[in-house]
A and B are shown apart, each in its own frame.
Chain A
Amino acid sequence: MIDIIIAAIATLGALFVLLAAIGIVRMPDTYLRISVTTKAATLGVGLLLLSSTIFFSNADVTSQAFVIILFLFLTAPVSAHLIGRASYFIGVKLWDKSVMDELQGKYQKNTHILKSKVDDTPEDNVDHSKMDDADK
C-alpha cells in the first residue's frame, strides 16, 4: 500500500519536471521560460523529495527533505526575479506577440532604480523599442 502511494507521488513529481522541461524548450520568450521554470520545477522536485520522505519515514530524512523543499520554495522566486531583472537590463527582447510591456521606460539605465511612472528623462530610461539588439 505504501509502495503505491510512493509510486503515485513520484509519478506526479516526474510529470511536473517533464512539463517544466517541455516548457523551457517550447516557450517563445526568455521571460516565459523563467516563469515555467520556477513554478513547475519547484512543485515537481518537492513531490519527488516528499516521496523519498514517505519511503524512509524517519526523522532524519524528513527534516532534511523539508529543509530542501523550504529552501527551494524560498529561493526560486528570488532567483527568478534577479535573472528576469538582469535580462531586462541587458535588453533581451519580449516575444513579438506580447500585448504590452509594463516596464517600458520605467527602469533607469544608470542608477538601476524602478520608477512608478515614465518621467521626462527619456535618455535615461530603459526602452526596448529604442534599443538596438547588437549586444545581448
Chain B
Amino acid sequence: MTLVEYLHYIILPVLVISAVLILWRFIQGPSIADKIVSLDLLITTGIGIIAIYSIIYSQSTLMDTALILALIAFLSTVALSYYLEKRKRK
C-alpha cells in the first residue's frame, strides 16, 4: 500500500467521519454557543483535510487556502461571540 492510497482510503474517511459528527452537533446544538464552537471546529477540521489533499495531489499551493481558512475561523468566532455578548447589554 503506497502512501497516497493509505491517505486516500484510511486518513480521509476518518477525517470525514469526524466532520460529520461535528456537523451533527452543529445542527443539534442546544445553545447558540455550541453552534459557534462546532463551526470553529468544523473549519479547523477542514484545514486538516486540505493538508492531506495537498499531500495526495502534490500541490503545495493548497496550503494558502488553509492559511485563509485559519484566519476566517478565528475572525468569525471572535465576531460571533462579541455580538452574542453584546446582545444582552442594555
Contact = CB atoms under 8 A, between A and B. Distances in A.
B54 A52 contact: yes
Nearest to B49: A48
A14 to B, nearest CB: 4
Contacts, number: 166
Contacts of B51: 45, 48-49, 51-52, 65
A52 B55 CA distance: 6
A85 B34 contact: no
B60 A49 contact: no
Interface in A84-136: 85-87, 89-90, 92, 110, 112, 136
Q: How large is the interface on A (under 10, 10 to 19, 20 to 34, 35 or more residues)?
A: 35 or more
B25 A90 contact: no
Nearest to B85: A86
Contacts of B63: 52, 61, 64-65, 68
Majority SS at the chain B contact face: helix
Contacts of A20: 18, 41
B17 A45 contact: no
B81 A30 contact: no
A112 B81 CA distance: 14
Q: How large is the interface on B (under 10, 10 to 19, 20 to 34, 35 or more residues)?
A: 35 or more
Contacts of A44: 48
Contact of A71 (B74, B82, B84): B74
Contacts of A55: 55
A128 to B, nearest CB: 13
Interface of A: 3, 6-7, 10-11, 13-15, 17-18, 20-22, 24-25, 30, 33-34, 37, 41-42, 44-45, 48-49, 51-52, 55-56, 58, 60-61, 64-65, 67-68, 71-72, 75, 78-79, 82-83, 85-87, 89-90, 92, 110, 112, 136
Interface of B: 2-3, 6-7, 10-11, 14-15, 17-19, 21-22, 24-25, 30-34, 36-38, 40-41, 44-45, 47-48, 51-52, 54-55, 60, 63-64, 66-67, 70-71, 73-74, 77-78, 80-82, 84-85, 87-90
